[in-house]
Amino acid sequence: MAFGYNGKILRVDLSREKISIDSPDDVFYRRYIGGEGFVAYFLLKELKPGVDPLGPENKLIFAAGPVTGASISGSGRNSVGAKSPLTEGFGEAEVGGYWGAELKHAGFDAIIFEGKAESPVYLWIHDGEAEIRDAGHLWGKDTGDAQRIIREELGDKLIRVAQIGPGGERLVRYACVINDLHDAAGRTGMGAVMGSKNLKAVAVRGHEKGKVADAEKLKELARWLIQNPKTWSWAHDLGTGGAMEAFVELGNLPIRNFRDGDFSNAKALDARTIKDTISIGMESCYACPVRCKKVVKIAQPWRVDPIYGGPEYEALAALGSNCGVDDLKAVCKANEICNRYSLDVISTGDTIAFAMECFENGILTDIDTGGVKLNFGNAQAMVQMVEKIGRREGLGDILAEGVKRAAEKIGRGAERFAIHVKGQEVPMHEPRRSRALGLGYAVSPTGADHVHNLHDGSVASRNPYFEKLAALGILEPVPREDLGPRKVRALIYVVDWCVLDNSLLMCCFLPWDHIQKTEIVRAVTGWNTTVWELMKVGERITTMARAFNVREGFTKKDDRLPERFFHPKTSGALSETAVDPAKLEKARSIYYEMMGWDENGVPTRAKLEELDVAWVAQTLG
């Protein structure tokens, strides 16, 4: 077994209350790495096609990676995956914090949950042991209370808890899984899958720090980070969301359901404002000096409990500007409720923005909203609506289904305001600005997802990122507006690496370049791995996720963007330009072909064989 892995994957059959351990070989670990890779493997290998995402036949996978738990920044993360109740396709999300490292220290690399518990339970994993425990007393509790009770009853304050709140319990389709009360495996509704299995929480405690192959080299790489604070001081000082005004000017900030370009008080939502007013410090992840996560405390008009952390950029934009809201405290409260209830801030914000636009267009009325004036900019209404979604109360019950299903239920043309791809709401980065981002959203296996598309390959020669991309052979600047072949190529390379990051579970904010990250993997595992091998792992996993969706019935026409992005914003920076649908369609074809997929977006047998997963071709029939 390579260093960096325990060689043990926990398998928990909730229906039969049976726990067992898989012991994969070294080749399995090297081929699928961890995180998203494990998710893709187990979903394709073990799920029957067409299962109900909220039924017992779905499986829920928690996975760490090789580096997780090692003494190096970015090693606290884990991934959560299942068939998505939001998209009905490949579901997966990553999350930072400490839980992933704790799982590794407790002796396991991943957990596969199968079936459904008869009544609410939680799993308690400690130093190689695992037990299913009753969670009747926890069900219905906010995440904060649940974590406190679990720690108390197990008698250890350092237990790490991944869990759902009432939103997950009530199967809000975009419910997330919350670690440490403030870190979310946010996208694709993994919290709803957890809820559907009557699984409240996974509590973990471990004391065995695994050995790494080359501790000296790993220290050297950790030292480099500490000695180069300029490369991460932006994150240390402000975290995300420190350029809200610039984002308005550039057109990158979603405003009023992705409709508008003007937003006069963006400064109110800026991380600098938070720092100067309501911040009480910054929180870290395991073994990381960067400390990029905001913690806010507010007494009134809303009480915001700092145990729930504070809003990241995605929350500030989704619950703020995209709802037309510039009331920072309201956004912080909404963010806190999302963490209490385990709701994805992006989908929550987008869904409320959708409802607001419906309301302003008379598609939803006072009757639907129970009297709430659900206009853009109504901070009070926005906060109320988050709570209603979490409780599935009134209109909240419809909105808890996500914009796609909500629009179908509402009818009356609401669909045109439902900004999603494959049923997942669009994150806070504007495809009208970075054109390949639109392509990335369109083809992403998880639907619109910025964690599969952290960068779209646009790069100017003066950008420090340019030098990094050269390591992948992107030798010349590729402008944002470009959507031609060289941009598609850049997107593919960037996304393949991004998916690798999701599998290694290494944080994408950290400044290590491709060479250093590979050196980290090498130092931990002892493998003689290379950027070539790791890029191919990324491509392999991207293609496996694609294959899963093909098997679930997705076709080329699901690789689309919402109509809205084909029109300019009503004002501001992007009021005269938009995504050209013909160019997008052409770029999609080029993308398929470059990926080795056929003209319908189905991975070819030869490509699957070249990626060393010939068995996947068989699952496609």
Q: Which is nearer to a copy of itself, 128 or 596 (CB)?
A: 596
Q: Residue 593 CB, nearest distance to a copy of itself (Å)?
A: 3
Alpha-carbon distance of 251 to 41, in angstroms, equals 38
Least CB distance to a copy of itself at residue 535 (A): 5
H-helix or E-strand spanning residue 124: strand 121-126
Phi, psi of 354 (to 5 degrees): -60, -45
Distances 608 to 378, 525, 586 between C-alpha atoms, Å? 50, 26, 24
Handedness of CA 298, 302, 308, 309 (dihedral sign): negative
User: Which of 360, 533, 558, 585 lies at the binding interface for a copy of itself (CB under 8 A)?
Assistant: 533
Considering the complex, state which of residue 358 and residue 535 has its C-beta at the smaller distance from a copy of itself. 535
Residue 601 contacts residue 559 (beta carbons within 8 Å): yes
CB of 31 or CB of 182, closer to a copy of itself: 31
For a copy of itself, give the closer residue by CB, 99 or 591. Answer: 591
> 363 or 490, CB closer to a copy of itself?
490
Contact 360, 369 (CB under 8 A): no
- Contact call for residue 607 and a copy of itself (CB under 8 A): yes
Q: Determine if 214 is a binding residue for a copy of itself (CB under 8 A).
A: no
Q: Is 227 in the site for a copy of itself (CB under 8 A)?
A: no
Encoded amino acid at 121, one letter: V
Can residue 145 be called a binding residue for a copy of itself (CB under 8 A)? no
Q: Give CA–CA dist 203/129, Å, rounded.
A: 12
Among 23, 530, 571, 600, binds a copy of itself (CB under 8 A): 530
Q: If binding is defined by CB under 8 A, does position 593 make contact with a copy of itself?
A: yes
| 612 sits near a copy of itself (criterion: CB under 8 A) | yes
From the number of C-beta atoms within 10 Å of its C-beta (0-12, 13-18, 19+), residue 334 rates as buried
CB neighbours of 167 closer than 8 A, spacing ≥ 6? 175, 191, 338, 341, 342, 343, 389, 390, 400
Minimum CB separation from a copy of itself for residue 491, in Å? 11
531 lies in the binding site for a copy of itself (CB under 8 A): yes
Q: Which residues does 220 contact at the CB level (< 8 Å), separation at least 6?
A: none
Minimum Å gap between C-beta 621 and a copy of itself is 18
Complex with a copy of itself: residue 258 or 527, whichever CB lies closer: 527
Interface stretch with a copy of itself, choices 261-269, 366-374, 433-441, 523-531 (CB under 8 A): 523-531
Looking at the Cβ atoms of 1 and 280, the one nearer to a copy of itself is 1
| 1 lies in the binding site for a copy of itself (CB under 8 A) | no
Read off φ and ψ for residue 114, nearest 5 degrees. -125, 155
Q: Binding to a copy of itself by residue 226, rule CB under 8 A?
A: no
Each residue 553-592 as x (binds a copy of itself by CB under 8 A) or -, in order, gives -------------------------------------x--
Total residues in contact with a copy of itself, by rule CB under 8 A: 42
Binding mask 17-36 for a copy of itself (x = CB under 8 A): ----------x--xx-----
The residues in 438-497 that bind a copy of itself, with binding defined as CB under 8 A, are 467-468, 470-473, 475-476, 485-486, 488-489, 492
**Region 160-199 residues binding a copy of itself, contact defined as CB under 8 A:** none
Question: What 3-state DSSP class applies to 492?
Answer: helix
Which position among 536, 556, 583, 586 is part of the footprint of a copy of itself (CB under 8 A)?
Answer: 536
E strands, 237-364, are: 279-283, 293-296
Helix-strand-coil percent breakdown of the chain, rounded to 5?
45, 15, 45
| Angle between helical axes of 581-595 and 485-504 (0-180°, round to 10) | 60
156 is a site residue for a copy of itself (CB under 8 A): no
The answer to whether residues 100 and 34 touch, using CB atoms and an 8 Å cutoff, is no
Residue 11 pairs in a beta bridge with 20, 112
The verdict on 532 binding a copy of itself (CB under 8 A) reads: yes
Distances (CA, A) of 557 to 85, 200, 508: 19, 36, 30
- State the residues that interact with a copy of itself by CB under 8 A: 27, 30-31, 467-468, 470-473, 475-476, 485-486, 488-489, 492, 513-515, 518, 527-537, 590, 593-594, 596, 604, 606-607, 609-610, 612, 614
